[in-house]
């Protein structure tokens, strides 16, 4: 049985001591005097090893009534029965308690305890609820049943037998009195039976009234619950009605503002319509001016491109002419030096011929003497008898004779060769002198395969004499020479002259151009001159753009003008733009060159033969790419990429050769 504890106004407890907690929604109860709002709370608090269960009712958020069972609490295994009993009391009073989830962290449990009206953490200050007030709610009786009929208020005693005195003197009187008593007894028995029947009827009636009372209590409880629900619905409807009134007022004010704004917009629309008409007229005039300006710009661009093409052709022809002139001058100087050397060698050869003739005469005299000596020896041998010593001497003389004959044949062959070479050397000397005196004509091409006879080794075979008639006509030399690639020619054509045993071969007029115009590329690559070695770029046919993330771009160069080029060397030219892109891929740096056709919208990507390995080779590769672009008429400019964010991204997107990942 729960009893009211008027000493408690708030339960002080820590979050770890709360075992279970139930809370119901606020319920409104109306009576003739006042209307009250009540809430029900059921909590189980652990105190050491016992658990105490409390039922608290909060009225109008001001008063609190705490009910608990007598004693210090129940064991932890027995407190669920106390909780169920408290829930039964709360439900009998019309509340619907719901369990509060306490499966949180200690901090969240502390928040739950702090937000519960009947609980307060130890050491905290706050205004508590009033307690122990008169007029506390009375808890209902949970079980009511009639097991037996109620006892009557007054019991009818049974008539006791009254002793009748017997008088011997008066028998008649005694008989008369006995008859009266018997009649009274009979009457009393009839009355007793009537009272018993009345008692049974009243008992049945009382049982019926008890049953009706229970039904009436149930109906009253249901009616109270319905009244509470209707009161809640009424409050909800009142709040909704107030909200609807506020919303209606707000909508009316918004409608008024919108109507005013619509009127202002109508006036503004009229003004904008007039302004738009004026702007349309101005726009049409500007479009006409823009079209005319575009035509003028197109004509100027065409004229500029034509002038640039003529200027480039003139510059190229000038460079070729200067190269040919320099080669001719070098060849003249080399021919003069070769002629001087040839004269010296001719004098040497003449002296050698004279000395050989003298030696030949001496050898002939010696041979004649030896022949005479041999004949004399043979005659002496024929006259003397044959012996072993004579045979040995004859054999020795025979070997000496064969050796002398071999030396004579060698000397004769050398003398004949010297006699044949003398007129040829004289003719070559005369030709070299004529070339040195007259010089080369402007525009003549040199012949890298020609080697002057004066520079040949005397032990080798002599080459035919050089004649000026072997040169091509002067009209053919006026046309610009076909620019080729040294790597396309064979090894025999690339050599100036067959190397001799001493390695003294001389090549004339063999100079490689450091850059090649892009329109003359036949094999898809170009070579750019550098500080130490040329950087060669190859056309990568499998790439139509440079794929890279925006963060990997180190440098970007673009041309500030267009040039008419033939990127693939097929003869057709179009206006092109040049781009150079440097990327960082891990610890390495890569350089790309790209040519973008503005008419075909195609991008040709060129890669260096070997990517740079260090900062020096990287700088040399970039300079080579820039020099190539300027050689074909594209003026390169570096794109500033120091900015970050959208500005850098926008600058990279403007390059058609890049395809950002």
Q: What is the pLDDT of residues 51-90, one digit of tens each?
A: 999 999 988 878 888 888 888 888 888 889 999 999 998 9
Final residue before a domain boundary, out of 131, 147, 181? 131
244 located within any domain: no
**Residue 56 domain boundaries:** 3-131
364 located within any domain: no
Q: 281 pLDDT exceeds 50?
A: yes
Q: 530 pLDDT exceeds 90?
A: no
- CB of 659 within 8 A of CB of 546? yes
3-state helix, strand, coil in the chain (%, to 5): 50, 15, 35
Average pLDDT of the chain, as a whole number = 76
232 located within any domain: no
- Predicted structure pTM score: 0.27
Cross-strand bridge partners of residue 594: 579, 605
Final residue before a domain boundary, out of 103, 131, 159? 131
DSSP string for residues in 636-651: EEEPP----THHHHHH
Q: Per the structure, how many domains does the chain have?
A: 2
396 located within any domain: no
Q: 517 pLDDT exceeds 50?
A: no
249 located within any domain: no
For 4-59, the pLDDT digits (tens) are 887 777 888 888 899 999 999 888 877 667 788 889 999 999 988 899 999 999 88
DSSP string for residues in 536-578: EEEE-TT-SSEEE-GGGEEEEEEESS-EEE-TTSSS--EEEEE
106 located within any domain: yes
pLDDT recorded at residue 389: 61
Residues 6+ apart with CB under 8 A from 99: 20, 21, 22
Q: 152 pLDDT exceeds 70?
A: no
SS3 39: strand
Final residue before a domain boundary, out of 131, 154, 176? 131
162 located within any domain: no
33 located within any domain: yes
């Amino acid at each position: 049985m729960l009893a009211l504890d008027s000493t408690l106004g708030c339960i002080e407890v820590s979050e770890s001591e709360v075992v279970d907690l139930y809370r119901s929604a606020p319920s409104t109860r109306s009576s003739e005097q006042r209307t009250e709002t009540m809430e029900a709370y059921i909590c189980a608090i652990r105190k050491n090893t016992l658990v105490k269960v409390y039922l608290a009712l909060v009225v109008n958020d001001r008063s609190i009534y705490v009910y608990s069972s007598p004693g210090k609490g129940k064991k932890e295994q027995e407190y669920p029965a106390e909780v169920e009993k408290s829930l039964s009391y709360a439900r009998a009073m019309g509340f619907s308690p719901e369990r509060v989830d306490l499966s949180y962290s200690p901090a969240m449990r502390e928040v739950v305890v702090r937000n519960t009206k009947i609980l307060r953490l130890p050491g905290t200050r706050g205004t508590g609820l009033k307690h122990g007030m008169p007029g506390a709610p009375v808890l209902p009786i949970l079980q009511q049943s009639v097991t037996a009929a109620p006892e009557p208020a007054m019991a009818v005693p049974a008539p006791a037998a009254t002793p009748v005195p017997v008088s011997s003197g008066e028998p008649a009187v005694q008989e008369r009195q006995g008859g009266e008593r018997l009649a009274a007894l009979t009457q009393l028995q009839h009355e007793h039976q009537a009272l018993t029947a009345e008692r049974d009827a009243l008992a049945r009636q009382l049982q019926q009234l008890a049953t009706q009372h229970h039904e009436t209590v149930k109906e009253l409880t249901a009616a109270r619950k319905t009244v509470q629900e209707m009161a809640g619905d009424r409050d909800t409807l009142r709040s909704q009605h107030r909200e609807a009134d506020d919303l209606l007022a707000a909508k009316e004010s918004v409608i008024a503002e919108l109507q005013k704004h619509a009127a202002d917009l109508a006036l503004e629309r009229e003004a904008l319509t007039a302004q738009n008409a004026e702007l349309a007229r101005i726009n049409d005039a500007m479009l006409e001016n823009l079209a005319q300006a575009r035509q003028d710009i197109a004509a100027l661009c065409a004229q500029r491109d034509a002038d640039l093409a003529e200027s480039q052709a003139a510059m190229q022809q000038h460079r070729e002419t200067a190269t040919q002139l320099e080669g001719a001058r070098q060849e003249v100087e080399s021919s003069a030096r070769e002629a001087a050397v040839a004269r010296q060698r001719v004098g040497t050869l003449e002296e050698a011929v004279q000395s050989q003739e003298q030696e030949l005469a001496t050898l002939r005299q010696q041979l004649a003497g030896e022949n005479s000596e041999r004949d004399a020896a043979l005659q002496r041998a024929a006259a003397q008898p044959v012996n072993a010593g004579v045979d040995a001497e004859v054999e020795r003389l025979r070997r000496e004779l064969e050796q002398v004959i071999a030396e004579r044949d060698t000397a004769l062959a050398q003398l004949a060769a010297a006699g044949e070479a003398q007129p040829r050397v004289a003719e070559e000397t005369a030709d070299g002198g004529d070339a040195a005196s007259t010089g080369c004509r402007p525009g003549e091409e040199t012949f890298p395969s020609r080697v002057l006879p004066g520079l040949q080794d005397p032990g080798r075979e002599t080459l035919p004499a050089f004649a000026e008639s072997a040169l091509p006509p002067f009209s053919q030399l006026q046309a610009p020479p076909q620019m080729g690639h040294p790597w396309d020619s064979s090894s025999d054509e690339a050599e100036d002259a067959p190397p001799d045993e001493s390695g003294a071969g001389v090549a004339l007029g063999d100079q490689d151009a450091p850059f090649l115009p892009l329109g003359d590329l036949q094999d898809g690559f170009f070579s750019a001159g550098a500080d130490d070695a040329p950087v060669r770029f190859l056309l990568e046919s499998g790439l139509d753009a440079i794929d890279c993330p925006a963060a990997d771009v180190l440098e970007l160069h673009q041309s500030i003008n267009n040039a008419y080029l033939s990127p693939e060397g097929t003869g057709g030219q179009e206006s092109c733009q040049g781009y150079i892109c440097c990327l960082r891929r891990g610890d390495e740096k890569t350089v790309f060159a790209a040519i973008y056709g503005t008419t075909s919208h195609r991008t040709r990507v060129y890669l260096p033969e070997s990517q740079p390995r260090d900062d020096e080779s990287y700088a040399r590769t970039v300079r080579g790419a820039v020099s190539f672009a300027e050689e074909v008429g594209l003026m390169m400019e570096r794109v500033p990429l120091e900015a970050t964010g959208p500005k850098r991204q926008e600058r990279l997107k403007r390059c058609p050769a890049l395809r950002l990942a």
